[in-house]
Amino acid sequence: MTNDVKKKKQLMTRLIPLIVFLCVSIFLYIGLFRDATVLESTFIGRPVPEFALNDLVEPELQHDKSVLSGKPMLLNVWATWCPTCYSEHKYLNELAEDGVYIVGMNYKDERKKALKWLDELDNPYKISLYDPDGMLGLDLGVYGAPETFFIDSKGIIQYKHVGDINPRNWNGELKAVYEQLK
């Protein structure tokens, strides 16, 4: 009797490596369909930090965090050195025409180049912030361009999207996020 029980216990022990391996495999499988380089934002549910940035178009004009509250909006981080921003820009124009309120933040760029770009490609931004040394970017956890923050009327960041906004992901999940902003 006890010999049988002992044998069963030994079998259970020998099965442990297999079970552990299969559990690990599940995680490996899931990992295949995720982008390992995307970093989630620490600002979800937090207010936009204090800042003082000049306007891109009117260098004398200064903005602070009040421009990022009052109504639901997108804060789009972009630059002329970023090729994905170029392909994103046309769609942003369309969204702006549809009534989406977008504030632009020109990130680590040259004012002249940025203005030329907006001139040639149209300007979807209600307000354009100029962050030449990326300090607001750092304070928001921006690590590249394009990135877009979804901010509600209280100035609380509700969502951050890394990468371009295109018809697929807008109609997929982002539009719903925007419409849920209060």
CA angle in degrees (0–180, nearest 5) for 154-152-149:
125
- In the complex with other proteins, which residue's Cβ is closer, 134 or 155? 134
- In the complex with other proteins, which residue's Cβ is closer, 129 or 140? 140
- Structure letter (DSSP) for residue 58: S
The least CB distance from residue 133 to other proteins, in Å, is 7
Whether 74 contacts 149, CB under 8 Å: yes
The least CB distance from residue 70 to other proteins, in Å, is 24
Whether 67 contacts 75, CB under 8 Å: no
Binding residues for other proteins, rule CB under 8 A, total 36
Per CB under 8 A, 44 contacts other proteins: no
Order of strands across the sheet with 102-107?
A: 62-63, 53-55, 127-131, 102-107, 73-78, 147-151, 157-162
Per CB under 8 A, 50 contacts other proteins: no
Per CB under 8 A, 144 contacts other proteins: yes
CB atoms within 10 A of CB 164: 22
Contacting residues toward other proteins, per CB under 8 A:
7, 10-11, 14-15, 17-18, 21-22, 24-25, 27-34, 36-37, 39-42, 108, 133-134, 137-144
